[in-house]
Amino acid sequence: MAGYIAIAAHFEGLIESGELQPGDRLPPQREVMQQWGVAAQTAGRAFKRLRDKGLTVATTGGGTVVAPRGSDNVASRVQAWAATGRALKKDESSEILEVGTVGASETVAARLEIEPGSPVQLRRRLVRRGGVPVHVSSSYYPLFVVEATPELAEPVSTGASRELAAERLGSVQERVLEEVTAREATEQERQALGLTGSVIVQQVVRTVYLADGRVVEVAIKVVNGETVLRWSTQLN
């Protein structure tokens, strides 16, 4: 009898390979129960695992469909790194746009609990999926993180900056607080994302905490969208 992890992995493989595309409907849970010979609880846990990883979404009619190819949540990337040693998906790439020491803005300083203008390490990057720009992300690291992880000061992509920093600091990522607001894109953001005219984007401010309570990163990510949300997610 298959377990829920095996069932979830089966559908994840279909999604990753492109056999299941965004918007495609997964079979009803009762069909999964029959095909895999499992109870309703096992099928339900498999579907929940897919949702938790950001791969699927529930519809108003009760069915489950493959999630749009938007920006993945931090939890799914942490899980991908733990499973494969790679935080980005196979069709994703990360281009470093800027690296350097800058003064912390009020937004960043408040979340790092430092004075505005205090030096922090900036890494700004553009993530593409299938060659198409999907988001611009500016990560800010306190100096103790950079001292432990000097690679963050280099203009090359590590593929998993937070994971590397957490490992060097002897802790694990425990929780991420995500605060999402809508605003108009700046000219710099429009150019990076290939947008034209007046465009509304989502600004996602992510504060990632280690298990020992320290903040390892504050990131400001910009993607298309108009939703205003705020939530917190456990990472282990």
Is 160 within 8 Å of 173 (Cβ atoms)? no
pLDDT of residue 228: 43
pLDDT of residue 2: 74
Is 129 within 8 Å of 89 (Cβ atoms)? yes
Burial 65-87, CB ≥16 within 10 A → b, else e: bbbebebbbbbbbbbbbeeeeeb
Name the pTM for this structure.
Answer: 0.65
pLDDT of residue 182: 84
Look at the block and give the residue holding tokens 């790439």. Answer: 93
pLDDT of residue 156: 82
pLDDT of residue 76: 64
Taking the C-alpha atoms of residue 62 and residue 28, their distance in angstroms, rounded to an integer, is 9
pLDDT of residue 71: 47
Taking the C-alpha atoms of residue 124 and residue 110, their distance in angstroms, rounded to an integer, is 19
- Compute the half-sphere exposure of residue 1: CA atoms within 13 Å on the CB side of its CA: 9
Q: Which residues of the chain have pLDDT under 50?
A: 71, 226-229
- The interaxial angle of helices 40-52 and 29-36, nearest 10 deg, is 120
Q: In Å, what is the CA distance from 51 to each residue of 11, 79, 183, 211?
A: 11, 13, 27, 24
Q: Where are the extended beta strands (E) located within the chain?
A: 56-58, 64-66, 92-103, 119-129, 132-141, 173-184, 200-210, 215-224, 229-234
Taking the C-alpha atoms of residue 177 and residue 207, their distance in angstroms, rounded to an integer, is 5
Is 53 within 8 Å of 76 (Cβ atoms)? yes
